[in-house]
Amino acid sequence: MPFELSFSDEFFWGEGEPYEVDTRPTNVMQAIQSMSDQEWDDMCKEVFDGREVGVHDVMDKIREVNTCSDLRPPVRVWVDEEGYTTLTIYEKDDEEEAEEEKDDVERDERGYPLPTVDEPAFEDLEHMLLYRGTCDATDGCIVEPDGKCEHGHVSWGRYLGFV
Report the run of H or E that residue 111 belongs to, with start and end.
none
For residue 112, state whether it binds Zn ion (rule: CB under 5 A): no
Cβ nearer to Zn ion, comparing 28 with 149: 149
Cβ nearer to Zn ion, comparing 153 with 158: 153
**Which residues, at least 6 apart from 136, have a Cβ–Cβ distance to it below 8 Å?**
117, 120, 128, 142, 143, 155, 156
Residues 27-66 as x/- pattern, contact with Zn ion by CB under 5 A: ----------------------------------------
- How far separated are the first and last CA of the chain, in Å rounded? 60
What is the nearest approach in angstroms of Zn ion to the Cβ of residue 139?
A: 4
Residues 137-156 as x/- pattern, contact with Zn ion by CB under 5 A: --x-x-------x-x-x---
Residue 48, SS3?
Answer: coil
Cβ nearer to Zn ion, comparing 139 with 159: 139
Evaluate whether 154 touches 135 at the Cβ level (below 8 Å).
no
**What single DSSP character describes residue 25?**
-
- The residues of the shown chain that bind Zn ion, judged by CB under 5 A, are 139, 141, 149, 151, 153
